[in-house]
A and B are shown apart, each in its own frame.
Chain A
């Protein structure tokens, strides 16, 4: 009995050996198939220490301190964490970005200082603010304003400012339905016909009613250009 058993074992061993070559090819194939990216799989990185920025960089932040430990045998791990770790431990949430220090002013080529009229002083802003765009630059400003309006305003206020942008209109398949975002001002309506450019500038900066504050997205010079353009389409 024992003898037969042994022979059987040897036979199985032989068979595995015979098929070993195929097994190698299939295994390589399976491993290699894992190299391509797709879905949540980032794929295999070639020379990963070239991909990951060692200095702090905007839009990428690796918070895992063990990340890239495997490459540490090449250099001396004096800093106590993996090579790819690039978070700033001294910032809030270990972010690499920081908000500007208090009481500092962003410089720009036009010398604009930050807008300081508070949100609730809209009437004051409408009266006092004057557009820095003089008549010689108006045509160019309106041209720029049109492009900027398309980027920042069109989807709510609509191409002609009639408050009929895609978000503020009833859904395409149901003309009687309610819009996703109701209450978008019709800039052609009587209530807004006479608003000043300063008023528009103030509202873009701070928002009004349901409209959010767009001051962080649109620079002051762009806001003035948009104001010029809005006045031009109201005529």
Chain B
């Protein structure tokens, strides 16, 4: 009886102490303020997505620290609120935790969000808490190879069936050949047994075929010589026409810059780097400061990017190899074609956004220029300069105003 009582007392005291302890820690930790109801968490998520997500993730360090357990790690909820409202003020006040953070993240200033209220910040913390407890998302194993087996199914007939059909056809052909050979042997045997054949007929039945004779026969030599000379002639002529034409020239550049990644995958506009194309004769090659707009923080460890840093540090230009070169005797102006003519870069430079190494895609010969000037309609839309010309042209011709009609074939337009 006394034992039982003692046990109950001990149990009770433990429970009481436990309750007291838990409530005490709750009072110390700010966690009780953080909302747990779904409505506020989803509100927090919305605010997080539109304001915080560009620099912060819950489980990953991005521009700023990972925010998991920030409610436990940071000095207090009030500290978090102050930091969000005006981070520079907190740092300037000499708060040791804030200063340490500021130094750890290369003195990157967090944007001030004075418009987010304390309650909203608590909602965000609610969302962060929920995500923290969920744990990092397990990277979904996306099997890239899985799609291949069915991929050929899209084309209608799977490749394996086509192979089977081809093999079947070949077997049939071989069988036909065997049957034919059998028939000729049987026929020959039968004919040889007959006695009423003269010599000429026997010659036909048992032909004497000689490879030597064939090779030395005049028609054979003629055909072979003709084919050889014709092919050689064609190769020589083709290559003579290639003299002075640098189409397909694709030199290896000092830095392995890929247009496929920049202009293709990330769809950065050509003008972003080739800024001169709208204003000048040349489309200019970007100087390293334009690279640094992004590569100050992207792929900084790559040896190719390190070459840009080296160029900046040593104040030495990057010596790109010129791909497209018009002879000095021909004048060409980019802005005239791009701004006034409204021509896409790809019209002359080919599918640049698919090229890892830039290749000259066009002939850049005079005939190539002239062809385009004969075929292209002048971009007269919304351009008052052409109004009068279009009127005059209409009186004389029914076709649209082409570049050749406004002097696009005059020698002195390009050669002077």
Point out residues on A near B: beta carbons under 8 Å. 25-26, 28-29, 32-47, 50-54, 57-60, 92-93, 95, 150-152, 154-156, 162-163, 166-168, 173-174, 176, 178, 180-186, 188-191, 193, 207, 209-214, 216-217
* Nearest A residue (CB) for B55: A183
* Residues A42 and B57 in contact, CB atoms below 8 Å apart: no
Query: What would be 12 A-B contacts, judged by CB atoms less than 8 Å apart?
Result: A26-B232, A28-B236, A32-B240, A37-B248, A40-B250, A51-B328, A150-B269, A152-B269, A162-B50, A174-B142, A183-B54, A210-B63
Q: Does B150 contact A (CB under 8 A)?
A: no
Given A58-B284, A191-B113 in contact, is the A43-B240 Cβ separation under 8 Å? Answer: no
A99 to B266, CA, bound (A): 32
> B272 touching A181 by the CB < 8 A rule?
no
Inter-subunit contact B54/A44 (CB<8 Å): no
Q: How far is the CA of A151 from the CA of B248 in the complex (A)?
A: 28
Known contacts A155-B269, A212-B292; A29/B236 CB under 8 A? yes
Given contacts A52-B328, A191-B51, contact A33 B284 (CB under 8 A): no
Is B208 interfacial (CB 8 A cutoff)? Answer: no
Q: Are A43 and B232 in contact (CB under 8 A)?
A: no
Q: Determine if A176 and B108 form an interchain contact, defined as CB atoms under 8 angstroms apart.
A: no
- The answer to whether A152 and B252 touch across the interface, beta carbons within 8 angstroms, is no
Binds A, one of B37-45, B122-130, B294-302, B400-408: B294-302
Residues of B within 8 A of A182 (CB): 54-55, 62-63
**Contact with B51, one of A167, A181, A190 (Cβ below 8 angstroms):** A190
User: Given A36-B242, A52-B328 in contact, is the A167-B266 Cβ separation under 8 Å?
Assistant: yes
Say what secondary structure dominates the interface of chain A: loop
Closest Cβ of chain B: how far from A232's Cβ, in Å?
A: 19
Task: Tell me the count of chain B residues lying within 8 A, CB to CB, of chain A.
Answer: 68
Closest 6 CB pairs of A and B: A212-B293, A46-B244, A183-B63, A32-B239, A36-B242, A37-B249
Tally inter-chain residue pairs, CB-CB below 8 A: 174
Contact check, B328 vs A54: say whether CB atoms are below 8 A apart.
Answer: yes
Report yes or no: A176 in contact with B328, Cβ–Cβ below 8 A: no
Q: Which of A34, A38, A60, A163 contacts B325 (CB 8 A)?
A: A60
Given contacts A35-B239, A39-B250, whether A189 and B139 have CB atoms under 8 Å apart is no
Residues of A contacting B269 in the complex (Cβ-Cβ under 8 angstroms): 150-152, 154-155
> Contact at B54–A155, with CB atoms within 8 Å?
no
Task: Verify A181–B297 contact, CB threshold 8 A.
Answer: yes
- Would A210 and B296 count as touching, CB distance under 8 A? yes
- Is B60 an interface position by the 8 A CB rule? yes
Q: Is there contact, CB below 8 Å, between B50 and A186?
A: yes
- The interface bits of chain B over 43-70 (1 if a CB of A lies within 8 angstroms of the residue's CB, else 0) are 0000000110111010010111000000
CB-based contact B244/A45 at 8 Å: yes
Give the CA-CA distance A214 to B296 in the complex, in Å. Answer: 13
Q: Does B245 count as interface, using CB distance less than 8 angstroms?
A: yes
- Given known pairs A150-B269, A152-B271, A155-B266, the reply for A37 and B54 (CB within 8 Å) is no
Q: Are A59 and B285 in contact (CB under 8 A)?
A: yes
